[in-house]
Amino acid sequence: MGDDPRKRGGEARLLALAALYLCGHALLITLLRTHAQVVSIACVTVAAAWAAVACARRARRAGETKDWWIVALAMLLWSAGMAANLPFAATGQGAVNPGVSMLLFVLYMAPLLFVLAWRPEDPAAVRRIDGGLALVLAGLFCAIVAGHASVAGTPLENVPALRSVYDVGNAFILGLAFIRWLAGAGSPQRVLFGSLAIYASIYFAVAFYVNHVESIGPGYGVFSDLAIDFPFLVLALIASRRGRPHAEIALRRVDKVVQLASPLVLPLALLLASAHLMPSQPWLAGLGIAAAVLGYGMRTVLAQLRAQEQLERLAAVATIDALTGIANRRRFDERLASEWMSARPPAITLLLVDVDHFKAINDRVGHPGGDACLRAVAHVLGTQASRSGAFAARYGGEEFVVLVPAREEGVALALAESMREAVSGSDACRTAAGGRVTVSIGVAVARAGGTPQDLVDAADAALYRAKGAGRDRVVLHARDASSVTTAS
């Protein structure tokens, strides 16, 4: 199926609008030569603001990651940094990146690093830590800029140092964006990373040219300024596109490595910034190092805690019957083996419970009603068992099993009879099954020299006799194969 013609038409109009914007920028520089600097700075400012608006609109779409808002903030900071040149250009004070402008250009990197560092599965507490690290990083960036530039401008001898800050920051963002895109699964985040990778590639090339080649030229107000528009216009076009539904892709090993390593991004950036500040402001560098170590440590503790909780939830899911909510056969086998190893013979009695005429119940109320019946019976058995310190589980199908921590036959028989009466008199069971529900129960006591399977077989034999004797009764398996029967 081809693309929607309306979608293609909308993209063509956006592309044409971007082309017209570049032409308009060039035309204004040509026509307004005496004010070329102000006009060019204003055009670049608007281009970055356009990218910010497009990213914000993308964040508001259904199914899109809200991290587009953070990208929009980065673009807004860059736009504000360029706009800070306007008063200097309008008054003829030079317009070559005053300190405020340099500061905002560096600050714009912090939101991008934050977006590229976090993972969608991270909890809110981890994101707050990352946000705090991003703020500390922004503060260190401010200190770096303040050490090389003032509000009025940047001394020529400090320009190379600031260029190196920009180069390292831009390269860091570019490399990280590509890595996150290449290693990402099919998701809104991967689309975001791909968009940032394209933008960062163009921006890195343009910034390198402007910082290392154009900076020795006449400044703003020349046709090469159109190149500065280009990365922002491209990002605005990408953010404005209507993407296709995101297909999930299985993670490869490299994807998992990148996702696990991404929490190192902000601490590493903090360490690099701290190293830059160490000769001039060691106390501030120490603060940055402490923040990196403490932030990563807290992140690690929270990640381990979350992993432990997930393991506990998985363990619970693995041992809980999905239909009835009580323990499943696997959990029963583990519990029986544990009890058997604790003593020889163990002080336990086994009750095997079967719902009478369950097939007829299913035929009468259908499978949903049969499932409701099993849940109701499980609730009754589980409640009775917990009151007596016993352990109840679903054995399979319509059978349940109860481990009683006692070898006294009288105690086990009393509990079994209480369970039988509770099920028979349960309104919930009656409502679910569309009539009275009864159970047959086989009881067996653990014997010296036996095995867990012997105990199960004995309880099963007693249950078979209970069903053969008319159901709705409790039967105790005796060692000599005779039985004690409690009829309804």
* Cross-strand pairs, 393: 327, 401
DSSP element (H, E) containing 391: strand 391-396
DSSP 252: P
**DSSP per-residue codes, 94-160:** --S--HHHHHHHHHTHHHHHHHHH--TT--HHHHHHHHHHHHHHHHHHHHHHHTT--SS---GGGHH
CB atoms within 10 A of CB 323: 13
124-146 vs 282-319: helix axis angle to the nearest 10?
170
CB 51 within 8 Å of CB 236: yes
Amino acid at the residue 480:
D
Query: Does 398 qualify as catalytic in the annotation?
Result: yes
For residues 280 and 277, what is the distance between their CA atoms, to the nearest angstrom? Answer: 6
How far apart CA 268 and CA 18 sit, in angstroms, is: 37
Q: Name the nearest CA neighbour of 465 among 400, 359, 457, 455.
A: 457
How far lies 114's CA from each of 70, 102, 167, 212, 236, in Å? Answer: 8, 20, 18, 27, 20
For the chain, percent helix, then strand, then coil, each to nearest 5? Answer: 70, 5, 25
Q: Long-range contact list for 147-151, CB < 8 A, 24+ apart?
A: 147/277, 147/280, 147/281, 148/102, 149/97, 149/98, 149/99, 149/102, 149/103, 150/98, 150/99, 151/98, 151/99, 151/100
- Which member of 398, 399, 409, 417 is catalytic? 398
Contact 231, 50 (CB under 8 A): no
Task: Please list the residues that pair with 355 across neighbouring strands.
Answer: 439
Q: Is 228 left (phi over 0), alpha (psi -120 to 50) or beta?
A: alpha
Catalytic residues: 398
